[in-house]
Structure 1
């Protein structure tokens, strides 16, 4: 509750600052609101605006990834686990999702907010006469980076119908996933022109590669993955604290296990104990006497820090390259790339790798490496292994959006 309370305070503060006088309230002197807007559109306020985007990005990411993992076959909901009570999570788990599901609202709303904040920042930056050109560059880089991530999220996780992915922007028409990926790529490519260093350039290249991979455009995916993150690069993360907690920890982890992990994950560890290094699990006894497993990847450490969520890592970039090699889109040693990832966790190495058939496979490696990072759902669709035919394969665009958007069916 503390996380939501603080988030609401930040939301109202930032929203007040971002809204124009026409959209505010009728009894406020327009000059007052115009002065507030001018205050924001200043060089000194750019760091504050970036922090606002990053905060909403984090608020969206944990709720979004939990919902996506719950809809996939990676996590599942059962009332046999103590304190598993949310009907909204149960709907997601079985793929029968009502449009007014507030667990999905909790992801969709901050997603649209950080998208809007990122887009609005671009307009503000265009109006500022900068003395600090590095800050100007940082502002544009972050605005286009997070604007691209928001569009990637919409393309990957949301849908108009059970099998029709895509989203909306500014109460506009529905944009199918492939077109939304193109919009994300446009933002990312502009971010490249403002990237402050080699690391940021590699990061954005990895994000572009992922969009092309999910589109099935393997040639372009290979081009950008080859210029993506490398061993030793830091991940792009959504960051949390005890005041703004990681919802995996709160609802699908050590505090409460409304979602628990599929039983194949402890079996992975049974088959190879070294897999425990990248699949941290703990157990809870269910009311039915069954031992259930929950993720312990996201937790509170001994120093009081809450685990961040990786959104892009060099390990994922390696797995993208390995997949593209197996698909014939680029040259290289897929096994070596996969083993480099496994060695980063002290997991035993392999001697062979397939695309999606026999074990070990890229599908299985992604399942383990990208555990609780929202990747299983798009992978199930990409590899045609979704486990609930006829059910939602995307999170539905919310009822609130459908009601207020004349371009969408209610």
Structure 2
């Protein structure tokens, strides 16, 4: 069995290892455009902020490791076309410009995603940068050395984390987002209100509900101002963090896709052509809270789907369990975890949903210290099925987002969670764990 893997970041690296573990006799050929594999882009803000001193620590594999496992790894090779009828891929060696054609029995599309670049006038100015891969991380760090005023466009996780890194580096930071709230996909208003106040107290200028209209540059084509419809902001550097789009142009219309280009896969990671698999940012996920196909480009989804490619490369064996889009964030001492639907998203999708909000201490007041936990549970009013949840505290409660993720995945009700068996020990929690109390508030 000859397997060609195109793209080797999270899903690709996971798939190669899984294929060779499950089918050691397989001939696995990897094509990767870059000169590195497995870069953890979620660590870029930590690298920018100096928390991670060595960028090499953000790689968890390398071409040599994959080769030692038995793969033929072609770095700095760009696949230019795929013929699904002949089962062939054409690739160009970017160092020598030589072209090669390789046949396959199974094809694995782990081509990932690329930052969205909106068609804004002046966007090609110098020092308007993207934030995705290793080379971009290095460019951000290099450009930030001489930049005093930095504008971040996009209030999602990557944008927010970069804002914190730049603030702690002593920069003047402006955050622009077209939505009225930061982190809109992950958190409801009580949580984002608190975080926005935190950003303001740290000296961040917030321009929410504002879209960038144009960028203004000086005579050397260096960006100097960012203009929205109503305001202008000085800028020595701009980082665009407005989202990602799947990189799936290679397959054209040869497999079924979502309108945004994400490749549709079944529970075994097979596309509409069973010998072609897809995983990671190039593919859809099954979103359990709504039982629907969705596009959620997260490293956690990528590594799970990559593993499943290897498990199912010979025949359908292990089914995907879906995702809740579970995520965590650290921001100026706040620890935040979320999973599944927010109440705002649930109602927007026409779900008859309700929510319970609760603040309580994570452990008894008789202990020397304790901390408040902000919590919210989102559930279906008709079935009482849990759809999502959010938690935030100065104490690290983020693992409870994983507990709520399991509750959503296993279709638990608020009653199930209200009476779930959690241990009690005063160092850690109360006789009723705060998740029990949250679910009991939902019951009420």
Report the TM-score, using the length of structure 2 for normalisation: 0.28
Where relative contact order (Cα < 8 A, 6+ residues apart) is larger, the structure is 1
Report the TM-score, using the length of structure 1 for normalisation: 0.30
Query: Greater helix share, 1 or 2?
Result: 1
Query: Greater strand share, 1 or 2?
Result: 2
